[in-house]
Amino acid sequence: MRRVTLIEGDGIGKEICESVIKIFEAAKVPIEWDKKPAGLECYQKHGTPLPEETLNSIKLNKVALKGPTTTPIGTGHKSVNVTIRKSLELFANVRPAKTLPGIETKFGNIDIVVIRENIEDTYGAIEHMETPDVAQTLRIITRQGSFMIHSFAFQYAKTNNRKKLTCVHKANIQKMSDGLFLNTFRELSTQYPDIETEDIIVDNLCMKLVTNPEKFDVLVLPNIFGDIVSDLCAGLVGGLGLAPSANIGKNLAVFEAVHGSAPDIAGKNIANPTAFILSSTMMLKHIGMKDYAERIERALENTLKAGIKTKDLGGNYSTTEFTQAIIKEINKNQTYIELPAKKKENEIKFFDPPAPTPSEDWQIIGIDLFIEWNNIETLPEVPKKVEKLELKMISNRGTKIYPPPVPEILMVNWYRCRYLSNQALSHQDILEFLKKITELQIKWMHIEILRKHNDKELFSKAQGE
Ligand code: NAI
């Protein structure tokens, strides 16, 4: 018996878990569930949304099937999903979107796999209120994180006989962060000549997904774009009730439906368990029980083909009736012998990330000083020259307002003052600069050190600079 951690979660979690437990029993899947709590209800009961014993169970069993968990909006505890993904380094989120038999959609036959980077980007949740009017989120993309997700995506495409891998980005605007993501993809692509590669800007992708979805095979995206585009792809094949997913790391994996805890329908016995069932069959394939997975998928497909559907798909079957229909299908061919667990076929290879790139030959040439200045009728009164640094530019909401002319734009009480030097600077120089600025009682929020390498400036310019 293979032990697997099972997290029911919140809302419809209990109902869809019950469905999978019954289906696995009927299909005689040799799995023993290790039930552990997580989510909002768990928080209310145990004072934590993700107890240590739950994380330890996943670490021990190496595989978990997780029901949806509720995350309070704006306040409250951090998302359990994000915590699980981050603390277990489940860096790849795999979300297949495949047209199912019996499900009519406006978009024809679709078979797209979305591979979303699962750790970085705005999900670092590095946020600050810079002033009472200005909130900041840092968007972090790293060479190492990009390497891990792209090498996984290429390996996934190779082992699953997929033909094309599309890198999705916004490198036309975020030239540095998305640029790093895209360049890492391009560098790796040379090692996989058999896989066709292309890249596309995320907005263009969204348009093409609803006009020519059949053009896409496997997509690889930074975290936030992956989050949005994978829901779009779920919509293409019939909605959230049908979309499974896997969170995969080097040694551990957590499988869950894309949808949330659906509090609006919880406890009504009308939730569609399909996405969760498909997540569970992804899990079975992951642990070498492909035959069991296919047995269950066939029964699910036959049920849908027979027009047996839950309310979200226009049917009138309850969760339990739908589950019973699948079990009936499983039992139809029930001359089963116990299937042996096989060695995983086509196992995905994981690679170590590249070592940190040294920056000894990078030169400090200035700083961006971010200040709060409340009189937005006047330019902030900051000195033109401090020690070795000269004021070269001030911007507001990304647009240059100094040197003049001041454009007619909406200004807020948060300014970036760019000081540059024509000589190489040290951190000590920056410290002297900050001392002077502090003496002048300028309310500074943070600084960014500006560097260059071989005459290439390693920071972006303001609009109009
Ligand atoms: P949601 O996915 O729970 O629901 C969106 C809509 O889809 C609702 O109308 C719901 O009834 C419907 N729906 C979702 N799953 C369904 C299913 N299996 N069968 C039939 N209808 C279904 O998204 P929402 O409402 O934005 O989030 C609710 C809560 O779930 C939030 O606290 C959110 O943070 C959390 N959430 C958790 C996720 C996870 O644990 N993996 C993922 C997404 C959201």
* Ligand 1 midpoint to CA 264 (Å): 9
What was the pLDDT predicted at 332? 87
Q: 3-class DSSP state for residue 409? A: coil
3-state percent breakdown (helix, strand, coil) of the chain, nearest 5: 35, 25, 40
Give the Cα separation of 361 and 451 in Å (integer): 10
* Ligand 1 midpoint to CA 54 (Å): 22
* Ligand 1 midpoint to CA 261 (Å): 5
Give the Cα separation of 156 and 185 in Å (integer): 14
Q: What is the CA radius of gyration of the chain?
A: 26
Q: Whose CA is nearest to atom 43 of ligand 1?
A: 260
Lowest mean pLDDT among 148-157, 234-243, 343-352, 387-396: 343-352
Bridge partners, 245 (sequence order): 256
pLDDT in tens, 286-299: 999 999 999 999 99
What ranges in 100-219 are assigned the alpha helix state H? Answer: 143-159, 177-189, 202-211
What was the pLDDT predicted at 160? 92
> Does residue 344 have a pLDDT over 70?
no
CB distance 134 to ligand 1 below 6 Å = no
CB distance 69 to ligand 1 below 6 Å = yes
Provide mean pLDDT across the span 235-253.
94
Mutate which of 8, 15, 20, 240 for ligand 1 pocket (most atoms within 8 A of beta carbon): 240
Lowest mean pLDDT among 53-62, 345-354, 402-411, 415-424: 345-354
What was the pLDDT predicted at 124? 84
Spatial strand order of the sheet with 244-248 comes to: 31-36, 2-7, 63-66, 253-257, 244-248, 92-98, 111-117, 218-221, 164-169, 196-201
Spelled out in words, what is the top-level CATH class assigned to the domain 363-457?
alpha beta
- Burial of residue 248 (CB within 10 Å: 0-12, 13-18, 19+) is buried
CB distance 265 to ligand 1 below 6 Å = yes
Q: How confident is the model at residue 334 (pLDDT cuts 50, 70, 90)?
A: low
> Does residue 337 have a pLDDT over 60?
no
Domain boundaries, the chain: 1-105+237-345, 363-457
Pairing relationship of beta strands 196-201 and 164-169 according to DSSP bridges: parallel
The per-residue pLDDT of the chain, averaged, comes to 94
Mutate which of 82, 84, 103, 261 for ligand 1 pocket (most atoms within 8 A of beta carbon): 261
Q: 3-class DSSP state for residue 87? A: helix
What was the pLDDT predicted at 338? 57
Both structure tokens of 303: 């049920």
pLDDT in tens, 57-107: 999 999 999 999 998 876 677 789 888 988 999 999 999 999 999 898 889
> Does residue 335 have a pLDDT over 60?
no
* Ligand 1 midpoint to CA 240 (Å): 8
Lowest mean pLDDT among 272-276, 309-313, 317-321, 330-334: 330-334
Who's near 452: CB < 8 A, 6+ residues apart? 362, 363, 365, 458
What was the pLDDT predicted at 465? 85
Q: Which helix (H) or strand (E) holds 389?
A: strand 389-396
Q: Which residue has better confidence, 336 or 140?
A: 140
CA distances from 271 to 30, 34, 364 (A): 26, 23, 57
Q: How many other CB atoms are there within 10 angstroms of residue 326's CB atom?
A: 26
What is the pTM assigned to this prediction?
0.92
Q: 3-class DSSP state for residue 435? A: helix
pLDDT in tens, 123-163: 888 999 999 999 999 999 999 999 999 999 999 999 999 99
Query: What is the CA angle 75-80-86, rounded to 5?
Result: 110
pLDDT in tens, 213-229: 999 999 999 999 999 99
What was the pLDDT predicted at 376? 87
What was the pLDDT predicted at 377? 87
**Atom of ligand 1 at shortest distance to CA of 80?**
40
Q: In terms of CATH, what superfamily is 1-105+237-345? A: Isopropylmalate Dehydrogenase (3.40.718.10)
Give the Cα separation of 441 and 424 in Å (integer): 27
Looking at the chain, the whole-number percentage of residues with pLDDT higher than 90 is 87
CA distances from 1 to 4, 29, 34, 258 (A): 9, 9, 12, 28
pLDDT in tens, 102-134: 898 889 899 999 999 999 999 888 999 999 999
Give the Cα separation of 168 and 203 in Å (integer): 9
Query: What is the CA angle 397-399-402, rounded to 5?
Result: 115
CB distance 271 to ligand 1 below 6 Å = yes
